[in-house]
Amino acid sequence: NPTEPSFMPKGEAKAVFDIPPEYLINRYKDVGVQLFDRFGEEAAERIPVKQIALPDLKRILKLKRRDNFSLFIPAHRDISKQLIDIFMGMRDVDDLQSMAVYARDRVNPYLFNYALSVALLHRPDTQGLNLPSFMQSFPDKFIDTQVLNQAREEANIVPTGSRTPIEIPMDFTASNLEEEHRLAYFREDVGLNLHHWHWHLVYPFNGPREIVNKNRRGELFYYMHQQIIARYNLERLCNALKRTTRFTDWRDPIPEAYFPKLDSLVASRSYPPRVANQVLRDLNREQDQVKADVTRLEQWRDRIFNAIHTGVVQDESGNDIPLTEFEGIDILGNIIESSILSPNRPFYGDIHNFGHVFLSYIHDPDHRHLESDPIFYRWHAFIDDVFQQFKGTLPRYPVEQLSYDGVTVDSVTVQSQGTPNVFNTYWQQSDVDLSRGMDFQPRGSVFVRFTHLQHQPFTYNIMVNNSGAPRQGTCRIFMAPSTDERGNPWLLQDQRTMFIELDRFVVNLQSGQNTIMRRSDQSSVTIPFERTFRNLEANRPQQEGEALEQFNFCGCGWPHHLLIAKGTPEGKECDLFVMISNYDDDRVDQDTNVPCNDASSYCGIKDRLYPDRRSMGYPFDRLPRDGVSTLQQFLTPNMRVQNVTIKFNNRILRRPKQ
Ligand code: CUO
């Protein structure tokens, strides 16, 4: 499509590329000039495309335009690495643009989008570019087919300006009769899926080493996904469902059925359903060079468990690498995911990625892995359990390490509207523009209106006594359900994996009494709605300079509207945990004053070290010390637990216009 500048839009103004005739693919060669004239009329700007010596794309083009693209397929990985290398290797931005223009009409669109995004994120000379959101480019990955059809119809019939948003019905993949369906609002949340997509863009497991090798990326793979599961489980408990069960019996039928309602606009076909009681099958797909059987997956698993229990892994030359107290989890993350940083991929394999492949091949020859599918969570619950087994082998934190002498947390209050220590949740409707990812004629914005969870803004009010000289601390805020699915009190060894991180920030403590106030929207976990759906909100003016946002990185961050779980109409009881740890043991000396540094808990900070020296998930990442069986017994004076409730109000409010 010669009209869409693929990565340099300036506001709403249309621009066209002046494409060298050699760049047009054959089917456009004859009509190229007319096309250009037709779209050129509307264009405010013509962008010259420099002609460069073009690399051979033959191997990359083995993945056809209409094929689906999955990084979990080794052959696709190799292809994506080649394309990333090509984009990374371009001498300057002009050459890169030229290459991108050339590739765009030839290369598989998902692959193109992925490789170019990775390159733009990592090239030093493209740090200021703005990109359209992935959701805008590929709405079919996120939105129900029926809604897309309606949107297309609206665009065809109704002129721009008079179009009304198409409402996405809530819970579109099944009826409420099916239990698992109660969680659809979470699994199908577009913001959650965008966060996950961006996370994997920022932390690819494959590609040039300098891109993959980011500070503690293996550990963050473990922690970010651990938190997704913890959050999913809390939502499940709010909906009277028990925690998700690990998918461990790989030879047994899978009871969960799944009926995706998404169609691929690229592949022009729908994703097939998985009926109940399907079984994993050995894979042998020549076309994708995938050959693996379940036995192999089991072999990898056994080797990894063996490494965990002996505390050492072997590299490819047979040398022992110890899984140490702090760095072991990072090595293990790279082994299990696996990434190219795994010290021995031939031996420990590629268990997590292949699990996704096996599961998606059951019903989906296009091997997508859907975050909206319950089995996705069951698989990651298994993966998390492997990590937890390792954490179980580590020394427990002793009291001396957990406490902060002279620092006492006297009280914690959450203030929202109404009763203190009550979080209030409800449904909210928001509009996003889909037009970039769909071929509308005439063009212009088409909005869809979707319904998502939301909470009222709140503030933490924390009273801290410091009996010593002024000093700094890290305030860590977590929350977990107060009881298990049967309503019984927890053993901390079980409750600890249920804690979801809400915030982490540095505090300056004066001598004596301190009052710490912190607003919910400052959370180090989340990004604001506007950032999740960048460029998508209704007619938001594009400000100069804002184009300098760093697209990919900035899109990583838990969606703020899902910070708090849904709760229940009666009020779901939770334990709010606050800890002030000694900043001397936490600090990482570096300048973190860079764009998009505000969602570091799950995403880190671009080009920086992870900004907290403690193990991720601290202090709940390990088993409690001997003699401690409950959360209360775990507490040292610098920690405090406040009982809170999450109250859900079943009404739908429109997002206020800003
Ligand atoms: Cu993010 Cu499996 O790694 O979904």
CATH number of the structural domain spanning residue 472: 2.60.40.1520
- Are 407 and 316 contained in the same domain? no
How many angstroms separate the alpha carbon of residue 281 from the centre of ligand 1? 21
CATH number of the structural domain spanning residue 83: 1.20.1370.10
How many angstroms separate the alpha carbon of residue 372 from the centre of ligand 1? 12
| Average pLDDT of the residues in 638-656 | 94
How many angstroms separate the alpha carbon of residue 381 from the centre of ligand 1? 11
How many angstroms separate the alpha carbon of residue 225 from the centre of ligand 1? 7
Least confident of 192-196, 380-384, 561-565: 192-196
Residue 543 predicted with pLDDT over 70:
no
9 is a domain residue: no
302 is a domain residue: yes
How many angstroms separate the alpha carbon of residue 227 from the centre of ligand 1? 12
Pocket test for ligand 1, best of 194, 225, 367, 602 (most atoms within 8 A of CB): 225
Query: What are the catalytic residues?
Result: 337
The pLDDT-based confidence of 327 (bands split at 50, 70, 90) is very high
| 460 bridge partner residues | 414, 518
How many angstroms separate the alpha carbon of residue 76 from the centre of ligand 1? 17
Look at residue 542 in the predicted model and tell me its pLDDT: 39
Which atom of ligand 1 has the smallest separation from the CA of 380? 2
CATH number of the structural domain spanning residue 240: 1.10.1280.10
338 is a domain residue: yes
Is 606 near ligand 1, meaning CB less than 6 Å away?
Answer: no
| 512 bridge partner residues | 466
Pocket test for ligand 1, best of 368, 380, 384, 602 (most atoms within 8 A of CB): 380
The pLDDT-based confidence of 137 (bands split at 50, 70, 90) is low
Look at residue 284 in the predicted model and tell me its pLDDT: 75
Least confident of 39-43, 124-128, 137-141, 513-517: 39-43
108 is a domain residue: yes
Residue 289 exposed, middle or buried by CB count within 10 Å (0-12, 13-18, 19+): exposed
Look at residue 366 in the predicted model and tell me its pLDDT: 53
Residue 171 predicted with pLDDT over 90:
no
Residue 91 exposed, middle or buried by CB count within 10 Å (0-12, 13-18, 19+): exposed
Look at residue 262 in the predicted model and tell me its pLDDT: 56
- Are 403 and 352 contained in the same domain? no
Q: Which of 82-86, 273-277, 345-349, 592-596 has maximum average pLDDT?
A: 345-349
ipTM over 0.85: yes
Residue 570 predicted with pLDDT over 80:
yes
Q: Which has more pLDDT, 133 or 302? A: 302
**Cβ(603)–Cβ(199) under 8 Å?**
yes
Look at residue 453 in the predicted model and tell me its pLDDT: 96
Spatial distance between the Cα atoms of 16 and 565, rounded to a whole number of angstroms: 45
Look at residue 415 in the predicted model and tell me its pLDDT: 98
Which atom of ligand 1 has the smallest separation from the CA of 371? 4
| 509 bridge partner residues | 471
**Which residue, chain included where needed, has tokens 């079919």?**
140
Look at residue 190 in the predicted model and tell me its pLDDT: 83
Look at residue 531 in the predicted model and tell me its pLDDT: 83
Look at residue 140 in the predicted model and tell me its pLDDT: 67
Give the side-chain half-sphere CA count within 13 A for 17: 26
638 is a domain residue: yes
Into how many domains does the chain fold?
A: 3
How many angstroms separate the alpha carbon of residue 376 from the centre of ligand 1? 8
Is 356 near ligand 1, meaning CB less than 6 Å away?
Answer: yes
- Are 382 and 425 contained in the same domain? no
**Average pLDDT of every residue of the chain:** 85
Q: Which has more pLDDT, 271 or 492? A: 492
Question: What domain range is 579 assigned to?
Answer: 399-436+447-654
| Domain stop point among 126, 158, 191 | 126
How many angstroms separate the alpha carbon of residue 55 from the centre of ligand 1? 32
- Are 61 and 204 contained in the same domain? no
| 466 bridge partner residues | 407, 512
- Are 266 and 375 contained in the same domain? yes
Tell me if residue 342 falls in helix, strand or coil. coil
- Are 406 and 353 contained in the same domain? no
The CB density around residue 106, as the number of other CB atoms within 10 Å, is: 13
State pLDDT tens for residues 336-379: 999 999 999 999 999 999 898 888 777 655 555 566 788 999 99
Which atom of ligand 1 has the smallest separation from the CA of 355? 2
**Which residue type occupies 621?**
D
| Domain stop point among 126, 145, 162 | 126
Look at residue 266 in the predicted model and tell me its pLDDT: 47
Is 196 near ligand 1, meaning CB less than 6 Å away?
Answer: yes
CA angle 595, 435, 94 (to 5 degrees): 55
- Are 204 and 325 contained in the same domain? yes
Contacts of 279 (CB under 8 A, 6+ apart): 251, 252, 253, 254, 362
Least confident of 40-54, 131-145, 210-224, 325-339: 131-145
- Are 386 and 405 contained in the same domain? no
Look at residue 125 in the predicted model and tell me its pLDDT: 86
Which atom of ligand 1 has the smallest separation from the CA of 199? 1
Q: Which has more pLDDT, 273 or 630? A: 630
State pLDDT tens for residues 58-109: 999 988 887 777 777 778 888 888 999 999 999 998 899 888 888 888 898 8
Encoding tokens for residue 13? 């103004």
- Are 331 and 211 contained in the same domain? yes
Which atom of ligand 1 has the smallest separation from the CA of 228? 1
Tell me if residue 225 falls in helix, strand or coil. helix
Of the chain, the percentage scoring pLDDT greater than 70 comes to 81
Which atom of ligand 1 has the smallest separation from the CA of 225? 1
| Average pLDDT of the residues in 464-487 | 98
- Are 474 and 513 contained in the same domain? yes
**Cβ(630)–Cβ(491) under 8 Å?**
yes
Which atom of ligand 1 has the smallest separation from the CA of 196? 1
The pLDDT-based confidence of 406 (bands split at 50, 70, 90) is very high
How many angstroms separate the alpha carbon of residue 142 from the centre of ligand 1? 17
Residue 2 predicted with pLDDT over 60:
no
Spatial distance between the Cα atoms of 80 and 63, rounded to a whole number of angstroms: 10
| Average pLDDT of the residues in 474-495 | 97
- Are 275 and 419 contained in the same domain? no
Which of 410, 450, 460 is closest to 563 using CA atoms? 460
**Cβ(466)–Cβ(472) under 8 Å?**
no
**Cβ(237)–Cβ(485) under 8 Å?**
yes
Q: For 218, which DSSP code?
A: H
State pLDDT tens for residues 239-264: 999 999 999 999 999 998 887 655 44
Least confident of 41-50, 384-393, 445-454: 41-50
**Cβ(223)–Cβ(616) under 8 Å?**
yes
The pLDDT-based confidence of 115 (bands split at 50, 70, 90) is confident
Encoding tokens for residue 432? 């996003």
The pLDDT-based confidence of 518 (bands split at 50, 70, 90) is very high
Q: For 570, which DSSP code?
A: S
Of the chain, the percentage scoring pLDDT greater than 90 comes to 53
Look at residue 228 in the predicted model and tell me its pLDDT: 98
- Are 416 and 351 contained in the same domain? no
| Domain stop point among 81, 105, 126 | 126
**Cβ(636)–Cβ(403) under 8 Å?**
yes
Spatial distance between the Cα atoms of 356 and 363, rounded to a whole number of angstroms: 12
Look at residue 270 in the predicted model and tell me its pLDDT: 54
133 is a domain residue: no
98 is a domain residue: yes
381 is a domain residue: yes
